[in-house]
Amino acid sequence: MSVREVGPRDGLQNEDPIPTAAKVELIDALAMTGVRRIEAVSFVHPKAIPQMADADEVWSRVRRDPRIRYSALVPNLRGAERALAAGFTELEVVVSASDTHNQRNINRTTEESLAELPALVSLVHEAGGTLQLIVSTSWGCPYEGDVPVERVLWVAGRGVEAGVDSLVYGDTTGMATPPRVTRLVGATRTAHPGLPLGLHFHNTRGTGLANVYAALELGVDDFDASVGGLGGCPYAPGASGNIATEELVYLLEDMGIDTGIDLPALIGVAGLAERLVGHKLDSQVLRAGPAVR
């Protein structure tokens, strides 16, 4: 089972900016919980996402644990060049299945982003890295409504043609439900049976963990989550945070699935995240604690 912690990037990008030192503190604290994958920063234009304007400085100050795979999100070739120059070898590029969301998010049409994928793949692979395609708004768009499965598969297929190393579907607006997850994952398994697939759920409408359970039944074993339930999307009005990492770990461990993550330690870091952003976070496990204290 692979759990990627995305709080330092996807979580914090939807909060008021916090000091660089606080971001570094959060990343280093997460590294002590047994999490083995952390999405640390994104290399986006500071005018677009000012919360990530200090990405280079954050990364230079992180106490890098050799047991952990750190990754960075990029929107385009320029972002990839910056990430590679900073020393990242695991990169993620995000493309929205919804054309309107892609334009609001990175000021390009979906087709324009997809057209750049072959060059991105070449750049990253030549540097010895890997590139993951994250398809956002895979289950719905705040501007266009439902996104057809065929549209998502078209974006995924273009990624496969370009040579991406793996795929993640993002439920940017929390519109996914278990039946929708089953349809999209099933169709993807049929179209691209050998492609590594991860899922990124938000809990906007309270279905996040139910969606995880449905995906587990289909054999998916790679999930993103955010400590404390931090997050949302600056370009998806009303979208609340990601599923909370501690809630995901609580569910998986109770199902007998070993995550290698220390739940009490993780809950402690969720409390730290709450203090750093200065307001109450949505995680129920943060409030209630583990089943046995």
What is the per-residue pLDDT across 66-124, written as a single tens digit (0 to 9) for each? 999 999 999 999 999 999 999 999 999 999 999 999 999 889 999 999 999 999 999 99
- Would strands 166-170 and 130-136 be described as parallel, antiparallel, or unpaired? parallel
pLDDT score recorded for residue 235: 56
Closest-CA residue to 167 (of 208, 135, 205):
135
pLDDT score recorded for residue 240: 67
Closest-CA residue to 250 (of 275, 225, 221):
225
For tokens 């609001």, what's the residue? 104
Phi–psi pair at 107, nearest 5 degrees:
60, 40
- Whether residue 293 is predicted with pLDDT greater than 60 in this model: the reply is no
d(CA 266, CA 31): 10
HSE toward the beta carbon, residue 266, CA cutoff 13 A: 28
For tokens 């990754």, what's the residue? 71
pLDDT score recorded for residue 17: 95
How sure is the predictor about 243, in pLDDT bands with cuts at 50, 70 and 90? Answer: very high
Residue 96's region, left for phi above 0, alpha for psi from -120 to 50, else beta, is beta
Closest-CA residue to 165 (of 237, 226, 222, 212):
222
pLDDT score recorded for residue 198: 98
Domains and CATH numbers, the chain: 2-288 (3.20.20.70)
Q: How far does Cα 50 stand from its chain's mean position? A: 18
* b (16+ CB within 10 A) / e for 10-32: bbbbbbeebeeebbbbbbbbbbe
Question: Of residues 293 and 287, which shows the higher confidence score?
Answer: 287
Phi–psi pair at 243, nearest 5 degrees:
-60, 145
Q: What is the mean pLDDT of residues 18-40?
A: 98
pLDDT score recorded for residue 290: 87
User: How many Å from the N-terminal Cα to the C-terminal Cα in the chain?
Assistant: 25
Does residue 286 contact residue 271 with C-beta atoms inside 8 Å?
yes
- Whether residue 27 is predicted with pLDDT greater than 60 in this model: the reply is yes
Enzyme catalytic residues: 233
Closest-CA residue to 158 (of 192, 126, 124):
192
Q: What does DSSP assign to residue 37?
A: E
Torsion over CA: 249, 252, 255, 259 (sign): negative
d(CA 5, CA 26): 11
